[in-house]
Amino acid sequence: MSHLTKKDRLAIRAALEEQRANLLHGLKAALEESGQTQYAAVLGKSSGDSADEALAVTLGNLSAARMDHEVRSLQAMEDAAGRLDSPDFGICEDCGAHIPAARLIANPTATRCVACQERHEHTYTGQTHGSL
Ligand SMILES: [Zn+2]
């Protein structure tokens, strides 16, 4: 069983929806600014039957449009939304620890506990954080 209550999951889903809406809004604005209105139009109607499919196609095109960071964030959100109801959601993918609900609400796409995330970032960026 998951450590997350139904209430936790609802809060996480709400946070996820809000972040997703913000990101889509930002993407749409960036696309409109750069004149790629055909993609912006798809993002504008991001609900409905064919919206998911259209979104997937759009995301593929956006990758080519060098918006990799935003697209990856959005894909992580889609992924998190899909996993939210699974028993594995909120389990650290590195050590198997329960990721606290508060962390998931603040960062619904988190797939690692704080300790593992920091280790992961150190490993991949080679950066050392200043002392806190
Ligand atoms: Zn961990």
Check which CATH number belongs to the domain holding 93 and give it. 1.20.120
For residue 11, being part of any structural domain is answered with yes
- Domain presence at residue 72: yes
Centre of ligand 1 from the C-alpha of residue 41, in Å = 40
3-state helix, strand, coil in the chain (%, to 5): 65, 0, 35
Whether 132 is covered by a domain: the verdict is no
114 CA distance to ligand 1 centroid (A)?
7
pTM comes to 0.73
- Calculate how far, in angstroms, residue 65's C-alpha sits from the geometric centre of ligand 1: 34
Q: Which domain holds residue 29?
A: 6-125
CA–centroid distance, 111 to ligand 1, in Å, is 9
The answer as to whether 130 is a domain residue is: no
Does the residue 1 lie in any domain? no
Sequential pLDDT tens for the chain (132 residues) = 579 999 999 999 999 999 999 998 888 888 788 777 777 777 766 555 566 777 767 766 665 656 778 888 888 999 999 999 998 899 999 999 999 999 999 999 999 999 999 999 888 765 555 544
In a domain, 131, yes or no: no
Q: Are 101 and 11 in contact (CB under 8 A)?
A: yes
Rounded to 5°, the CA angle 118-106-71 comes to 80
Residue 36 inside a domain? The answer is yes
Instruction: Kindly give the distance from the C-alpha atom of residue 29 to the centroid of ligand 1, in angstroms, as a whole number.
Output: 36
* pLDDT at residue number 49: 59
CA of 99 to the centre of ligand 1 (A): 8
* Whole-number pLDDT of residue 132: 47
- How high is the pLDDT of residue 7? 96
Number of domains in the chain: 1
DSSP symbols for 47-99: -STTHHHHHHHHHHHHHHTT-HHHHHHHHHHHHHHHHTTSTTTTB-TTT-PBP
- Position 46 scores a pLDDT of 53
The one-letter amino acid code at 25 reads: H
According to DSSP, residue 108 is labeled: T
CA–CA dist 44, 25 (Å, integer) = 8
Please give the distance, rounded to the nearest whole angstrom, from the Cα atom of residue 52 to the centre of ligand 1: 32
Gap from CA of 118 to ligand 1 centroid (Å): 9
Q: Is residue 74 part of a domain?
A: yes
The pLDDT of residue 92 is 96
